[in-house]
A and B are shown apart, each in its own frame.
Chain A
Amino acid sequence: MEHVVIIGNGISGVTAARHIRKMSDKRITIISSETEYFFSRTALMYIYMGHMKFSHTQPYENWFWKKNNIELRKAFVEKVSTENKTLQFSDGDTLHYDTLIIATGSKPNKFGWPGQDLKGVMGMYHKQDLDQLEKYAPNPNSCKRAVIVGGGLIGIELAEMLRSRDIPVTFLVRESSFWNGVLPEGESAMINRHIEQHHIDLRLSSNLKEIIADDQGKVKGVVVQETGEVIDCNVVGLTAGVTPNIDFLKDSNIELGKGVKVNRFLETNIPDVYAIGDCAEQHEAIGLRRPVEAVWYTGRMMGETVAQTICDNRIAYNPGHWFNSAKFLDIEYQTYGWVFAKPKEYEAQFHWKHSDDTKCITISYHKNDRRFLGINTFGIRMRHEVFDRWLTEERDVDYVIKHLTEANFDPEFYKKYEEEISLSFQNSQLQTT
C-alpha cells in the first residue's frame, strides 16, 4: 500500500491528510516534533491569556486519528534521502515513504542581533515558545517589562497577551506606522492610537540594536538603535516576520530557495515530493500574491489541493480571490481582494473612518473603469461570500457602495454604518471630480 508521509502537523499537513483519507485508503503518517496532536496555532495566544486551555485548541478529539487510520509520530526529521525515499529521525530511527509532503511551516526571523539567543528571548510561533513565555513571563512580578521587536500580526498579538497579565510592554516597530507595509495610512494610524490606548509603549521607527544579558545569561535589557536608549526588561519577543522552516532539507536534493521550491501543482523538483503551506515557495508568484504565503488559509487551501493530486486528480493550486483576517486588540480586521498600502498607479482608494476611532474601511477600485478591487474593513464584519462574488462579477465601486448592506455580517441589532459610508463616498467623489 502506498505510504504517504507528511512532515508537519499544522493546518496544511493535517488538511492534506484528512482529504487524502476521504478519497483513499493509503497509509498516512503525520510526523511532528512540536506536539503529539494537531492544534490551532492561531489560538496559542488564548492559552496564555487564559481564554482557553491547550486542549481547547485541538480541533479534533484524540480518538479521531486512530478512528480515521492516520498514524501520528512525534519525532524530529533530521534528513530526507530522496534517492531511497527515506526519512532519518534525530533519534536514529528511519521511515520509508512513497509520497512525501513537506508541511513544516515557518520559524521566527532572527536577524543576527547580539543576544538573540539569550534566556528570555523568544518568538511566538511554536507551542514551545508559549511554554517559554509562561516560564519567563508568568506575571508582572517576574517580568517587569517585555520588549517586542517587530510590528506585525504576531507582534501585536504578543503585546495583547502580555497586557492581559498586566505586564508592561514596549513595542519596537521598524516602520513609521504600525504594519504600514500592508495597511493604508488611515488604518495604520488608527491602529497606532488603539495600541497606545491599551497602555502599550509603542515606539515607531525604532530598531533593535542589541539585547543585553545579566550574569546568568538572561535578558536584562535592550538597546534601541536610533537613540541608544537602554530599556530594562526581562523578556524579549522577536516577531519580525517568519521564514520557511526548512533547515533539515539543506543536504537533500530538494530544490530550495527561500522556501521549498514548488510548481503550481505543489510538486518539488523530486518526483513524489510535495511542499505545502508556509514552507512552500512558488517559482512564480500567483497573481498579486507573494511566492511564499505564510497565512493560515493558504496553508489549508494548499492541503486541500495537494490531496487531490496525490489521489490521482492532478490539479494546480489555483487560489481564488485573496482574503485574510486578524484582530488588533479589540478591533477585528478583514480583507477581501487587494487594497495596497501604497496605492498602485491604477488604484484609487476610498477611506471612511467612524468618529469613535475603532471602525474604518478602505475600498480600492480601478481609476479608469471603477472596477471594485478590494476592501479592508475594521470593526465591521463583512461577508466573505458576497465580496468573493462581487470580485468575480467585476462589480464597480458604485455598485459595491450601494449594496454594502448585503455584505454586512455584524450581529443582529448592531448599529449600521452603510448610510454614513455612502454619504462619505458621494462627498469624496464630488471632491475628486
Chain B
Amino acid sequence: MNTKIDHSLSLASPEPKGLSTIQKIAVAVGIAGLIILLLAVFNVDFPNRAIALTLSLILITIGTVLFSNNAYLTTSEGIKNDGVWFKSISSRGLLGWIAGVALTGFYIILYFYPQFLGQTAADKPNTGLIALFDPLSYLLKGQPASQWFVYGTLYTVAILVFGYKFLLKYRHNRYQQLRTVSVMFFQLGFAFLIPEFMQALNYPYYDFKNMWPLNYYFFYDWNINGFLNSGTVGFAMLLFGILSIFVISPFLTYKYGKRWYCSWVCGCGGLAETAGDSFRQLSSKKLAAWKFERWSIHTVLVFAVVMTIAVLYSYIGKNPEKSFMTKTQFVWGVVTFLSLLFAVIMIYRRNRLDKDAKFAGGAVLLTIVGVLLMNHFSEGNSIFFVKDYKLQKAYGFAIGSIFSGVIGTGFYPILGNRVWCRFGCPMAAILGAQQRLFSKFRITTNGGQCISCGNCSTYCEMGIDVRAYAQKGENIVRSSCVGCGICAAVCPRGVLKLENDQLEGRINSNEILLGNDVNLMDYVNNK
C-alpha cells in the first residue's frame, strides 16, 4: 500500500532539499576539526599540541555554529522538522548507520582499549589522542590527561556546540531554551570544570549533580574513603550526596516531576537533548517496546540496589572504625527501609500499579530481605552469595560500560537518543516511580482539541505514545516521561502543556471528549 521508496538507504542525494553551500562548508570545517583528533589517534605528533588541540576544538565549534546559523537563522521561528525522515543521518539511513558504528566503536575503544587512544602506564607520558589533551589537562588541574579527561572534554564540547544548535532551533520556545542553557551550564560547571578544579586542589573528584544510583560508584570503598580522607569538605560532599538521594531529589521530583533532573541537570540527559536531538524520533513507540522497558529498567535498578548493599556491607565489615553502624544495624536498616517503602506504596498507591508490578515488587523485596537476613546471620562473608567486588565488576561492565556507554550513546542513530535513560538508568527508574506515584507533574491535554496527527508520539524520545493519551483527552502521567516538552512544542494544535498542579484529578480518562453532548459525556465518562 505504501509504495513510496525508502529514500534513506539510497546513495545518491535523495533529499528533496539538500544542504546549502554554507552548510556544506560548515560540515567541512567541523570535519577538519575531527580530522586533527583522528590524526592524533594515529600518533601524528603535532609540533605544538596546545595549538593543535585548540585549533581542533575551534574548528568543530565554528563548523557547528556556522551550520546552525545557516539552518535556523535564515528561516522563520517555528518547528523545524522538515525532511527529518528524508535525511540519511536522522532516518536510519546509510549515514545513520555509519555514525552508529563509529560511535559504538569509539565507546568500545574508550572503555576497553584505551591504549589505542594513547593511554599509557601511570609513570609513562601519554601518547596519541590523550597526549593531545595534556596541555588542557595541565592547565585545569596540573596533571596529565587520561582517557576520561579526553572523554569528558569532548562530551562537554558536544553538549555546548549542539546545545547552541538546539537553542537556535527552538528560539521561539522559552521552555526549551531555559532547560538547554541549564544542561549546558551543569555540564560545563558541575560535570567538567568544578571536579577538575577540585582535583587541582587535592579534593576528591566529585560531580555534585551525579547522584547514586546513576553514579553507581558513590558508595564504593575508594570513593567513600576519598571523601572521609578529605576533612570537612570531603565529609560535606558525602553528606550532600546522601541528602541528594533521600531528601533533595524526592522533594524536587514531587514538585516538578523527574524533568528537573533528566532534562534540566543530568549529563546523560544533556547529551541526549543536544547532540542526540536529531535522533529523538527513532525511539520505538510499539507497545512491545514499553513492555520490555518496564522490565529492563527495573531489573537494572534492582541490580544497582543489590550491588550497593553488598558493597556497603563489606565496607562496614572491613572498616568498622569508620562506620556509623554495625553490620547487623545496617542489615536491619536496609530491611526496614525497603519494607517501609513498599508498604507506603501499597497502602497509598496500590490502585495505580498494575498487577505484575505489585507481584514483581513484592517478590523482589522478599528475595532481597530473605537473602540479606539469611546470609548475615549465617555469618557468611558475602551478603548475596557472590563476593561484592564481583558484583561491582559485573555492574561496572554490563551496566556502567556496555549499557550506558556503548549501547546508550553508540546506538543514538539507530534506537534514538534516550536508549539508556529509557531502558537502563536506575536513577530514571527511581525518579520515574516517584513521578508516577508522588508528584504534581503531568502533561495536560487540552480538552477535545487533539487531531491524532502523531507528531507528539513521533518526537517523544522516551517512546511514549503521547497521542494515545491526548486523543482520549487524558493527561499523560508516565514514569518514563523526562519532561523535555518537545511533544508540546511540535503539537500543531496546542493540545499539550507540561504542568505542576494539584494531585487531585491528575490522572483522568475520558471515553467521550470535551465538545460533545454534555449529558453524553457525563453518562459515559462517569459510568
Contacts and interface: CB of A to CB of B under 8 A. Distances in A.
Interface of A: 11, 19, 22, 35-36, 40, 42-43, 46, 49-59, 61, 131, 134, 138-140, 164-166, 197-198, 296-297, 300-301, 304-305, 308, 313, 315-321, 323, 325-327, 329-330, 332, 334, 381-385, 388, 392, 409-415
A305 B516 contact: yes
B454 A56 contact: yes
Contact of A332 (B85, B455, B494): B494
A44 B493 CA distance: 15
A40 B17 contact: no
A385 B447 contact: yes
A304 B85 contact: no
A134 B178 CA distance: 38
B513 interface: yes
Contacts of B77: 330
Contacts of A50: 16, 81-87
Interface in B434-465: 444, 446-449, 451-455, 457-458
Rank and list the top 5 A-B pairs by shortest CB-CB distance, nearest first: A384-B447, A330-B78, A381-B494, A43-B453, A50-B83
B471 to A, nearest CB: 6
B468 A59 contact: yes
Contacts of B286: 61
A311 to B, nearest CB: 11
A417 to B, nearest CB: 14
Contacts of B499: 412
Contacts of B468: 59
B516 A411 contact: no
Contacts of A55: 2
Q: Which secondary structure dominates where chain B touches chain A?
A: loop
Contacts of A46: 453-455
A35 B81 contact: no
Interface hub of A35, A164, A304, A319 (most chain B Cβ within 10 A): A304
B154 to A, nearest CB: 30
B4 A305 contact: no
Interface in B135-189: 172-175, 178
Contacts of A385: 446-447, 514
Interface of B: 1-4, 16-17, 76-79, 81-87, 172-175, 178, 286-287, 444, 446-449, 451-455, 457-458, 467-468, 471, 485, 488-490, 492-494, 497-499, 511-520, 523-524
A319 B85 contact: no
Contacts of A323: 447-449, 515
A415 B177 CA distance: 13
Contacts of B76: 197-198, 329-330
B455 A52 contact: yes
Contacts of B515: 297, 301, 319-321, 323, 384, 388
Contacts of A131: 3-4
A200 to B, nearest CB: 12
A316 B109 CA distance: 68
Given A305-B520, A411-B489, 20 more contacts: A42-B452, A49-B81, A50-B82, A50-B85, A51-B85, A51-B490, A52-B455, A59-B468, A138-B16, A139-B17, A164-B83, A165-B83, A301-B515, A301-B517, A304-B511, A317-B517, A319-B515, A409-B497, A412-B175, A412-B499
Given A330-B78, A412-B498, A56 B457 contact: yes
Nearest to B454: A56
B511 A19 contact: yes
Contact of A59 (B81, B448, B471, B517): B471
A248 to B, nearest CB: 21
A293 to B, nearest CB: 12
Nearest to B520: A315
A410 B447 CA distance: 14
Given A327-B492, A409-B497, A415 B517 contact: no
A53 B85 contact: yes
Contacts of A320: 514-518
Contacts of B2: 54-55
